[in-house]
Amino acid sequence: MRKLGIVSFILFSCLFCASFAATINQAELYHRHSSLQWQWAMSALEKNPMQDHARVLDVGCGDGKITAALAEILPEGYVIGLDLSPQMIAFASKTFTSPRNLLFLRGDARALPFDKQFDWVVSFCTQHWILEQEMALRSMHESLVEGGKILIVTLAPSPNNLGPQCQRLAHSEKWSQYFPNFKPTRLYLTATAYRELLQKTGFDSIVIEETPSVTTFANREAFRQWLKPLVSCSTHLAVDLQEAFLTNLVDLMLQAEPPAADGTIDIHDLKLEITAQKSPLQDI
């Protein structure tokens, strides 16, 4: 795929994305129930300060609030938020209209159309949505200037990961008829696997921190609302079946982590925080 300059890609993407502005309901729901993603991103950014003039690409920007926060703290640089979902990009573009050094574009993490144009490529709670993670890392590598860095926060494998639980439910006797061609939509890699992939795709100075994380939800409904925009495997179903599938998924996940006596729910994850640098004078 031919690489585009920033200006050319901006003009193309703004025209391309304009027709998708009507349907953003799930994006709005995600915006209201994504405090965990925000907390993880802000924690990682505090530990990895960037120069005021940094050029940053946020891959998998979602609703755009993290991308917008980055633009505010980098007044002399620019920040581009990129996401595959037209609904997310429409919501982000509508919601965050300033600062002026901020832009949202639709695109694919596996085929970023940039060549040596960013000092940082960041990605928060997105990498595990990408099955072809080596392709995504190679594309990030190509988008960075020499010596540029990546900052990735994602999930490692753990017993109650959403992807395997969705697959388990979809293959159950009750639901298998509705998912005759179910395909996994998540890939959770260990720290060791990421290190190997990063080395293979041309990165060095690799630092990976694996940290247990506990997220507490006030009650079952709060957990359900947080989970709802993340369940992408059931979108082909009628709305009533989507709701029933979500209810059964909550039941399944709470079997592993049942509510406390006061109704609160603790969900345990393993967080990976990854930094790495593009090896000097190396294209993979």
Domain for residue 125, yes or no?
Answer: yes
Distant-in-sequence contacts of 130-137, Cβ < 8 A, 24+ apart: 130/187, 131/184, 131/185, 131/187, 133/187, 133/189, 133/197, 134/197, 134/200, 134/201, 135/110, 135/111, 136/59, 136/109, 136/110, 137/197, 137/198, 137/201, 137/203
Question: Which residues, at least 6 apart from 120, have a Cβ–Cβ distance to it below 8 Å?
Answer: 50, 54, 55, 56, 57, 144, 148, 149, 150, 151
Domain for residue 101, yes or no?
Answer: yes
Domain for residue 234, yes or no?
Answer: no
Task: Return the beta strands (E) in 173-251 as ranges.
Answer: 203-217
Residues 77-91, mean pLDDT to the nearest whole number: 94
Q: Is the pTM of this model over 0.75?
A: yes
Query: What CATH number corresponds to the domain at position 139?
Result: 3.40.50.150
pLDDT of residue 209: 97
pLDDT of residue 99: 82
Q: Does 284 have pLDDT greater than 60?
A: no
Structure confidence at residue 3 as a pLDDT band (50, 70, 90): low
Domain for residue 162, yes or no?
Answer: no
| pLDDT (tens digit per residue) in 30-80 | 777 778 889 999 999 999 999 999 999 999 999 999 999 999 999 999 999
| pLDDT (tens digit per residue) in 260-276 | 999 999 999 999 999 99
pLDDT of residue 262: 98
pLDDT of residue 16: 37
| pLDDT (tens digit per residue) in 157-173 | 998 999 999 999 999 99
Percent of the chain with pLDDT over 90: 79
Q: Does 250 have pLDDT greater than 50?
A: yes
Average pLDDT over the chain, rounded to an integer: 89
Domain for residue 256, yes or no?
Answer: no
Structure confidence at residue 10 as a pLDDT band (50, 70, 90): very low
Domain for residue 195, yes or no?
Answer: yes
Identify the bridge partners of residue 18 per DSSP, sorted by sequence position. Answer: none
Domain of 29 in residue numbering reads as 6-156+186-216+267-278
Domain for residue 192, yes or no?
Answer: yes
Percent of the chain with pLDDT over 70: 89
pLDDT of residue 281: 55
The total number of structural domains that make up the chain: 1
Q: Does 129 have pLDDT greater than 70?
A: yes
